């Protein structure tokens, strides 16, 4: 990749914020910067105070308000021109991204993450999406959903899946964690994910419902729920209601990324029967730490959960969920090579190749600049 490629990145979540989209963006721009590209990042969220960004990357202060962000994107794009590529990190901002790309005569790269493409957007956004020179999506399911309503040449929509960071590797279980949360000596089911009212599709309640029968077969079995969100109180109440034992489900709150590998290594099975995961990076992280996985049919998790990693079940089929858990609980650790394609080095190679491919695309006619 040539060293002088310059991107303008319109991101919802930049450096200095957390969550799946933020991490994807950070991994992507880290990889592109490692390959010699430079980028000016304009985030809606993200505070880089105290952070050191990879060389070549520059992030402006975040602006959340839509109108102010819109004006700033136009102004910053114009002021800091030229750019070779305008990257837009979310379908919701596609119209803005398209306008800025046209204004600058730059190629237009759009990113889709999952649920946002399940329904066709308004006419203007759809037109902006269809004007993209390259659309990257995290899974084949997202690609399929996008192509259902977008009149895009299929070859312009490429899959660039989430990546697993290199800290997620197999290791010994953490006795410290077991004792910290008084998990006992029984088997541990683990779920990691946001506890948001808008994300009830993740399937926590389905696991709670399956637990009583499972605990009869596996006394001492504990379900550890990692994550935070506005739905936590309700879920805690539902857990008690469905399982009837306060010790059976442990809500451990938000777990920082640095502490996650130990948590995965300590568990016996990762379970999240989600019906609508865009990709499901947590499945891969669990697998990278050697953990087998039970996921849900629906969304893009089929890409992450291959046969070597685990299995997917109908989220509302309690019996199937219980059977899957029973079947995989004591099957032993998986070979982490199964997730090798998702390691950062491969992600970085693919990301740079896609940028090179985009650069081979004819530059847009300049409307200005």
Partner 1 sequence: MNERMAARGPDGSGDWVSSDGRVAFTHRRLAIIDLSPRGAQPMLSADNAIAITFNGEIYNYQELRAELEQKGHVFRTETDTEVLLQLYVDRGPAMVEALRGMFAFALWDARSRSLLLARDSLGIKPLYYADDGWTLRFASQAKALLAGGAVSREPDPAGIVGFHLFGSVPEPFTVWRSIRALPAGTTLTVDATGPHAPVPYYQVAASLQRRATEPACDPAAARAKLRAAVHESVRYHLVADVPVAVFLSAGLDSGALLGTMAELGVRDITAVTLAFEEFRGTPNDEAPLAADVAARYGARHIVHTVDRAEFERDLPAIVEAMDLPTIDGVNTWFVAKAAREAGIKVALSGLGADECFGGYPSFADLPRAVRFLRPFHFMPGVGALLRGALSTGIRLGAGWHPKAAGLFQYGGDWAGAYLLRRAVYMPWELGSLLEPDLAAEGMRRLGPVGRIGAQLKAGRPLGAFDRVSALETALYMRNQLLRDADWAGMAHSIEIRVPYVDPFFLAALPPGEILDAVDAKAAVADIPSPPLPESIRHRAKTGFTTPVGQWLHAAAGMREDVSLSTASRAWARHVWRAGWPEMALT
Report the alpha-carbon distance of residue 162 to residue 2 in Å, rounded: 24
Phi, psi dihedrals of residue 37, rounded to the nearest 5°: -80, 160
Contact status, residue 85 vs residue 355, Cβ threshold 8 Å:
yes
CB closer to partner 1, 143 vs 292: 143
Which two structure tokens, joined as six digits, stand for 291?
């953990």
CB closer to partner 1, 150 vs 192: 150
Which two structure tokens, joined as six digits, stand for 317?
């089929």
CB of 150 to partner 1, least distance (A): 10
CB of 273 to partner 1, least distance (A): 23
Q: How far is CA 312 from CA 40, 185, 269, 270, 305, in A?
A: 40, 27, 13, 12, 7
CB of 268 to partner 1, least distance (A): 30
CB closer to partner 1, 37 vs 157: 157
Rounded to 10°, the helix 66-79/94-104 angle is 20
Report the alpha-carbon distance of residue 158 to residue 172 in Å, rounded: 37
Contact status, residue 238 vs residue 208, Cβ threshold 8 Å:
yes
Report the alpha-carbon distance of residue 311 to residue 281 in Å, rounded: 15
CB closer to partner 1, 142 vs 206: 142
CB of 281 to partner 1, least distance (A): 17
CB of 154 to partner 1, least distance (A): 6
Instruction: Specify which residues 191 forms β-bridges with.
Output: 225
Residue 92: CB atoms within 10 Å: 14
The owner of tokens 């001492």 is 220
CB of 54 to partner 1, least distance (A): 23
CB closer to partner 1, 211 vs 355: 355
CB of 135 to partner 1, least distance (A): 11
CB closer to partner 1, 72 vs 364: 364
CB closer to partner 1, 107 vs 215: 107
Site residues for partner 1 per CB under 8 A: 137, 139-140, 143-144, 147-148, 151, 153-159, 303, 350, 353-354, 357
């Amino acid at each position: 990749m040539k060293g002088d490629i310059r991107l303008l990145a319109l991101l919802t979540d930049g450096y200095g914020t957390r969550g799946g989209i933020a991490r994807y963006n950070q991994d992507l721009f880290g990889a592109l910067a490692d390959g010699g590209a430079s980028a000016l990042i304009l985030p809606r969220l993200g505070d880089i105070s105290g952070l050191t960004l990879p060389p070549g990357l520059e992030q402006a202060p975040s602006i959340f308000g839509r109108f102010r962000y819109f004006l700033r994107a136009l102004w910053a794009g114009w002021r800091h021109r030229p750019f070779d590529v305008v990257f837009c990190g979310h379908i919701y901002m596609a119209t803005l991204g398209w306008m800025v790309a046209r204004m600058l005569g730059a190629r237009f790269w759009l990113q889709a993450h999952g649920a946002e493409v399940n329904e066709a957007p308004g006419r203007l956004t759809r037109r902006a999406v269809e004007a993209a020179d390259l659309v990257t999506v995290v899974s084949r399911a997202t690609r399929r959903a996008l192509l259902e309503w977008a009149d895009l040449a299929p070859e312009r929509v490429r899959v660039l899946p989430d990546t697993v960071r290199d800290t997620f590797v197999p290791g010994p279980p953490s006795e410290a964690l077991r004792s910290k949360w008084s998990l006992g000596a029984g088997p541990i089911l683990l779920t990691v994910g946001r506890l948001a009212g808008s994300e009830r599709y993740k399937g926590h309640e389905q696991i709670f419902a399956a637990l009583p029968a499972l605990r009869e077969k596996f006394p001492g079995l504990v379900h550890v729920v990692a994550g935070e969100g506005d739905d936590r109180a309700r879920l805690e109440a539902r857990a008690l209601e469905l399982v009837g034992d306060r010790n059976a489900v442990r809500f451990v709150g938000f777990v920082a990324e640095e502490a996650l590998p130990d948590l995965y290594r300590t568990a016996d099975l990762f379970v999240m029967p989600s019906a609508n995961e865009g990709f499901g990076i947590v499945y891969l992280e669990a697998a990278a730490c050697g953990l087998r996985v039970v996921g849900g049919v629906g969304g893009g998790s089929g890409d992450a959960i291959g046969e070597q990693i685990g299995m997917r079940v109908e989220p509302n089929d309690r019996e199937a969920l219980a059977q899957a858990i029973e079947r995989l609980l004591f099957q032993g650790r998986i070979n982490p090579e199964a997730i090798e394609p998702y390691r950062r080095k491969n992600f970085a190679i693919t990301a740079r190749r896609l940028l090179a491919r985009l650069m081979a695309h004819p530059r847009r006619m300049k409307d200005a600049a």
